[in-house]
Amino acid sequence: MFLGEFQHTLDAKQRLAIPNELRKCWREAEHGESMVAAPGQNGALWLWPEKTFDKLAGDLGTSLREEAPMADFQRRLFSQSAVLTIDGSGRIRIPERMLAKYGLSGEIVVIGAGQHMELFSTHGWALELERISQA
């Protein structure tokens, strides 16, 4: 399970070093060798272990004729996702299009959210904390 809140910096090559505390939770046999970056339902960029994402995506079910809301959801999810390779130093390179879409540059916040991680701008995380504190 991924837990905690971490301030990190994207380097000049748009790479993010996954926080050590979160890397220690990574089990290659369980999680795979890569991550999937996908749009989160809260407007943040979510990072899923590749095997977890594959299982959850498979659980969505498929048919030749999907109901419109599910088909729309799947098109959005899969077209806006990307597989990210974890390098030997525990870094991932986030595609430029995702950085722009989610307003990520320089200092960012990485949070553990159970089965996945979420990336926020520093300001975006402050707003999200305020929102969830009022719930």
**Tens digits of residue pLDDT in 59-86:** 776 655 667 777 788 888 899 999 999 9
User: Residue 19: which pLDDT band, with cuts at 50, 70 and 90?
Assistant: very high
For residue 108, what pLDDT is reported? Answer: 97
Give me the phi and psi of 70, to 5 degrees please: -70, -40
- Give the structural domain span for 122: 5-133
Please, what's the b/e burial string for 89-103 (b: 16 or more CB within 10 A of its CB; e: otherwise)? eebbbbeeebbeebe
The CATH number for 33's domain is 3.40.1550.20
- Confirm if 47 and 119 have CB atoms less than 8 A apart: yes
Give how many domains the chain has, as a whole number. Answer: 1
pLDDT higher than threshold 80 for residue 20: yes
Which pLDDT tens digit goes with each residue over 79-108?
Answer: 999 999 999 999 999 999 999 999 999 999
Q: What percent of the chain has pLDDT over 70?
A: 95
Report the mean per-residue pLDDT for the chain.
92
Q: At 67, which amino acid appears?
A: E
- Beta strand segments in 66-106, E: 82-85, 91-93
For residue 93, what pLDDT is reported? Answer: 97
